[in-house]
Amino acid sequence: MADTDVDVTPTTDDAPSSAPEAPGSEGGSDLWSVNDAAALYRVSEWGGGYFGVSREGTLLAFPDAGASSRIDLYEVMKGLEAREIGTPVIIRLPGILEHRMRDLRRAFDNAINEASYGGSYSCVYPIKVNQERHVCEAVRDIGAEIGFGLEVGSKPELIAGLALTQGFNSMPLVCNGFKDAEYIETVILAAKMGRNILPVVEQFSELRLIRASAAQHDVLPNFGIRAKLATPGVGRWAGSSGMRGKFGLSVGEILHAVGFLKAEGLLGGLKMLHCHVGSQIFDIRTVKYVVSELAHLYVELVRAGAPVEILDFGGGLGVDYDGSQTATDSSMNYSLDQYAADIVYRVKTVCDEAGVPHPNLMTESGRALVAHSSVLVCEVIGSREFRSEPDRTLVDLALAADEPPQPLLDAYDAYRRLGADDDLLEVYADAEHALAEATNLFNLGYMDLRSRAACEELFWAVGTAALERLYDELPDALVHLPDRMADLFFVNMSVFQSLLDSWGIDQVFPIMPIHRLGEEPTRLGVLADITCDSDGRVDRFPGVGGVKTTLELHAPPADAPYGESGSEPYYLGIFLTGAYQETLGDLHNLLGDTNAVHVVLGPDGRWRIEAIVEGESVREVLSYVQFDPEEMRRRLRQDVESGMEEGRLTLSEGARLRRFLDDSLQGYTYLE
């Protein structure tokens, strides 16, 4: 850990942009360097300065986005191995979270100073983005120092928010989401108790609940109103906004609300105007429109006598998952500084023109604060590749039949033409046609299994050769080839538990090996998880100019295939997973929460594990679906006993099976 060499955090200028020469080739070139790996996996594009590649070919995290303090993630994995903490494991890096929060503070402070803006800025972290207690507590502790708070959106989150802010009375706690009388009353009583808590009205009926609770407890509560803006949201969360959005009050309803509040003597409590047009706003133009619309609404409310002090622009600050800096779903076309400057400048301009005071500004940035701070590390437990050489024995036997079927002869002919100077496109097309014909004949009962298998072998050999030779400039007709020929890398994880947005909304996440980066990857692969679901795969990765459908990975050593006992683990890191993935995940196949560790840098510059959060055990996940693990254990033990009594199991086999069942119930839900 203590090595002081300067490590590679390449910029686009100094990093060569080479891709592996020819996937499927037997070995890497001698010229490969860790710079090539950093460029290939686009570390500086998506890493936000928090990740880089060491001279030793391992992946480094830089918690403060500077190269001086770093955590070697491969070294951490070795440390976890020694502690018998298995994969998949989330490595949480609170240092990055702290840096993200301070950077947001800095960006708004700068913008406010530069524009001589009269109000202040605060961010309230929406705990739904990552509700894990350690994460929330870290946000709370740093937030207390820099004037940030928390946001909650449901009753359980409200209780968590109240508990988290205990002893932090001045910390803002914004309450969104649908509310019933109990929710409103709890908030109003918490405010009476001295908390800085602000419910945001999402529906007109909530105003009536506020009125009732205010009357019952004889207080004038502070609250906000969420505006339903005309500005449409963008991307996958476009439905959060627009006239037909699910949340908030339309302009007409807001006017009506002001009348209602005046009549009820409650207008003095209207302290905040709020909006949220969706997560991951990828286009800065949307930010500009939203800010202008909300600022003008604010001006009108002030003119109508409402004492609004805070403009809350909700969440949406994006994360550049694929590093392309474009207005596309997994990216964004603006920087944090631009975001802050646009909000501050636009609100100031609108207010100055109208002659109203500058309000305090607030955002509910979640994704942008926590995404970078978690890395999911999983192990490759096997791989399947298509052979570039067909099984000669099989092919020869099939050809030696009395009357070899025509598709087999065609496939063989295509394979033989690989050695000649023939047009590769034509050869590939012939092999593909032969395979299709072979499949048809087999399905009709006119081809035997051996001939069909030989056809497949020959087709894969032709396809692999075509890919190797044409990879650098794939003709249009073969753009599908990398996908078709890609190896399958099996990884010990569940996409549904740990990477739900990859499956559900095609979100791209950066994925790369966290070691062996000094070695050229020679395979192209897609990832397949251990669920029994064909959707449990990842085949979208950050690539040059957008998304690529295969990932360059390392072949297993010839004598030690991945996942076999005695072979070295091959670890892949899945990055930017700190936002939403951990809590959205589900129990598909009863694969539960993964292990998680919090890794920080000590004063001596060495990393240490601050907390270990064990993943769920088999016992726990079974009980979620109403199985009683104790009862199951008793019954299974009885079964084993009968097996021994009836002589179907020896005593030692019975003892082994019983131990296995006991251990399994206590054990991790993933392969160990």
Tell me which residues touch ligand PLP (CB under 6 A).
126, 129, 176, 276, 279-280, 314-317, 364-368
Question: What 3 state SS string does 243-266 have?
Answer: CCCCCCECHHHHHHHHHHHHHHCC
The residues near 479 (Cβ < 8 Å, ≥ 6 apart) are: none
**Minimum distance from CB of 251 to ligand PLP (Å)?**
19
- Could you identify the residue written with the tokens 């040059």? 544
Residue 357 burial (CB < 10 Å; 0-12/13-18/19+)? exposed
**Minimum distance from CB of 336 to ligand PLP (Å)?**
12
**Minimum distance from CB of 290 to ligand PLP (Å)?**
13
**What is the 3-state composition of the chain as percent helix, strand, coil, each rounded to the nearest 5?**
45, 15, 40
Measured distance CA(393)–CA(400) in Å, rounded: 10
Q: In the complex with ligand PLP, which residue's Cβ is closer, 281 or 551?
A: 281
Q: In the complex with ligand PLP, which residue's Cβ is closer, 368 or 434?
A: 368
Q: In the complex with ligand PLP, which residue's Cβ is closer, 108 or 442?
A: 108
**Minimum distance from CB of 126 to ligand PLP (Å)?**
4
Measured distance CA(488)–CA(386) in Å, rounded: 9
**Minimum distance from CB of 105 to ligand PLP (Å)?**
16
**Minimum distance from CB of 316 to ligand PLP (Å)?**
5
Q: In the complex with ligand PLP, which residue's Cβ is closer, 273 or 414?
A: 273
Where in 343-424 does DSSP place strands (E)? 360-363, 374-384
- Could you identify the residue written with the tokens 């298998």? 453
- SS3 for 251? helix
Max CA-CA distance within the chain?
98
Spell out a b/e string for 126-139, using b for 16 or more CB atoms within 10 Å of the CB, else e: bbbbbebebbbebb
Q: In the complex with ligand PLP, which residue's Cβ is closer, 316 or 518?
A: 316
Q: Which residue is nearest to ligand PLP (CB)?
A: 315
Residue 326 burial (CB < 10 Å; 0-12/13-18/19+)? middle
Q: In the complex with ligand PLP, which residue's Cβ is closer, 66 or 239?
A: 239
**421 close to 431: Cβ distance less than 8 angstroms:** no
Token readout for 169 is: 């009375």
Q: In the complex with ligand PLP, which residue's Cβ is closer, 105 or 554?
A: 105
What is the chain's length? 672
**Minimum distance from CB of 365 to ligand PLP (Å)?**
5
Q: In the complex with ligand PLP, which residue's Cβ is closer, 316 or 482?
A: 316
**Minimum distance from CB of 584 to ligand PLP (Å)?**
12
Angle (deg, nearest 10), helices 449-470 and 406-417: 30
Q: In the complex with ligand PLP, which residue's Cβ is closer, 314 or 543?
A: 314
**Minimum distance from CB of 175 to ligand PLP (Å)?**
10
Q: Residue 340 CA to chain centroid, in angstroms?
A: 24
DSSP secondary structure code for residue 28 in this structure: -
DSSP secondary structure code for residue 127 in this structure: G
**Minimum distance from CB of 545 to ligand PLP (Å)?**
25
DSSP secondary structure code for residue 345 in this structure: H
Q: In the complex with ligand PLP, which residue's Cβ is closer, 508 or 514?
A: 508
Nearest to 434, CA basis, from 449, 417, 456: 456
Nearest to 471, CA basis, from 536, 424, 438: 424
CA distance between the termini of the chain? 27
Measured distance CA(335)–CA(447) in Å, rounded: 61
**Minimum distance from CB of 319 to ligand PLP (Å)?**
8
Q: In the complex with ligand PLP, which residue's Cβ is closer, 130 or 324?
A: 130
**486 close to 550: Cβ distance less than 8 angstroms:** yes
From its phi and psi, is residue 355 left (phi > 0), alpha (psi between -120 and 50) or beta?
Answer: left
**Minimum distance from CB of 423 to ligand PLP (Å)?**
51
CB half-sphere exposure, 44, CA atoms < 13 A: 19
**Minimum distance from CB of 201 to ligand PLP (Å)?**
13
Q: In the complex with ligand PLP, which residue's Cβ is closer, 152 or 295?
A: 152
For residue 40, count other CB atoms closer than 10 A to its CB: 23
Q: In the complex with ligand PLP, which residue's Cβ is closer, 378 or 579?
A: 579
